[in-house]
């Protein structure tokens, strides 16, 4: 392949124009002929599929890194007592709709299905929460469910809300993985705690997400809990009902 002639250094006043010209030149001399050669050889469909798979992987990892950064920053603010939550009355139905819009692509991109279960009575119930903090709680719980049920036979994450009693509303996230060992269920919300055993060795984790879930819930007057199901585990965040 012929090498292009060296170009003169760009002046300080023309960096954008130079970058654009370089990009066009690279496309014309490298990318476009490569694409044409793929078309000629009948391999373009394979190239396109590989490119799409790589794009999805990069996008997924980018979102995962973004969530990790959000968690670290929020944890740092809470450690400094610098969190300014603004709880507002909001119905469970509204909160669930926001969460659905935020986590659907996150769940489906990794080949899981998303189920939502929030009956009419529970959806009409009102709690006082900071919308952003609540979203971070549920997104972390969904991320945790995906992470620890990756090898499950049933690849699904269910989220929902229910009325526990006249004064409490429960938001929950369930996976269909191996569950959490009973002797570690109370420890799992501790900062930097990771479940012992083979599951942890196979799964990347920082021990921050669930600890932040507990701290954010408690900052809004709520509590967190975990119950093993058959199969899987159900993580919940409980908040006082206003009505």
Do residues 92 and 191 both lie within one domain? yes
Does 220 lie in the same domain as 161? yes
Domain extent at residue 24 = 14-83
Query: Could you read off the pLDDT of 28-38 as tens digits, one per residue?
Result: 555 555 555 55
Task: Output the DSSP codes for 218-239.
Answer: HHTT-EEEEEE-SSSEEEEEEE
Same domain? For 159 and 194 the reply is: yes
Residues 149 and 190 in one domain: yes
The pLDDT value recorded for residue 10 is: 47
At 184, the pLDDT band (50, 70, 90 cuts) reads: confident
Boundary of a domain, candidates 83, 99, 114: 83
- 């501790």: which residue's tokens? 190
Residue 9 lies in a domain: no
- Both 158 and 183 in one domain: the answer is yes
E strands, the chain, where? 88-91, 113-118, 126-129, 156-165, 168-174, 223-228, 233-240
**93 and 79 within one domain:** no
Over residues 122-136, the pLDDT tens digits come to 999 999 999 989 999
Query: Do residues 125 and 91 touch, judged by C-beta distance below 8 A?
Result: yes
Q: How many domains does the chain have?
A: 2
111 and 49 co-located in one domain: no
Distant-in-sequence, close-in-space partners of 198: CB < 8 Å, separation ≥ 6: none
HSE (side-chain half, CA atoms, 13 Å) at 69: 6
Same domain, 193 and 219: yes
Residue whose C-alpha is closest to residue 145's, from 169, 110, 183, 193: 110
Q: What percent of the chain has pLDDT over 90?
A: 43
79 and 91 belong to one structural domain: no
Could you tell me if residue 3 is inside a domain?
A: no
Residue that is last in its domain, among 35, 60, 83: 83
């Amino acid at each position: 392949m012929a090498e292009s002639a060296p170009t003169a250094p760009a002046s300080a006043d023309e960096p954008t124009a130079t970058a654009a010209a370089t990009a066009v030149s690279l496309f014309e001399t490298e990318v476009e002929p490569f694409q044409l050669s793929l078309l000629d050889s009948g391999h373009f469909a394979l190239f396109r599929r590989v490119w799409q798979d790589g794009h999805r992987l990069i996008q997924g990892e980018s979102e995962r890194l973004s969530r990790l950064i959000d968690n670290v920053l929020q944890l740092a603010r809470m450690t400094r007592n610098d969190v300014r939550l603004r709880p507002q009355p909001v119905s469970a139905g509204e909160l669930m709709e926001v969460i659905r819009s935020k986590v659907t692509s996150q769940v489906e991109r990794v080949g899981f299905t998303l189920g939502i279960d929030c009956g009419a009575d529970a959806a009409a119930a009102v709690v006082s929460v900071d919308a952003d903090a609540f979203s971070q709680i549920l997104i972390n719980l969904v991320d945790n469910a995906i992470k620890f049920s990756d090898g499950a036979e049933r690849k699904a994450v269910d989220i929902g809300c229910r009325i526990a009693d006249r004064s409490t509303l429960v938001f929950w996230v369930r996976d269909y993985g191996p569950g959490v060992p009973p002797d570690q269920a109370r420890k799992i919300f501790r900062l930097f705690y990771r479940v012992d055993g083979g599951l942890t060795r196979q799964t990347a984790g920082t021990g921050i997400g669930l600890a932040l879930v507990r701290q954010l819930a408690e900052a809004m007057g709520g509590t967190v809990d975990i119950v093993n199901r058959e199969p899987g585990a159900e993580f919940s965040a409980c908040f006082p009902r206003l009505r």
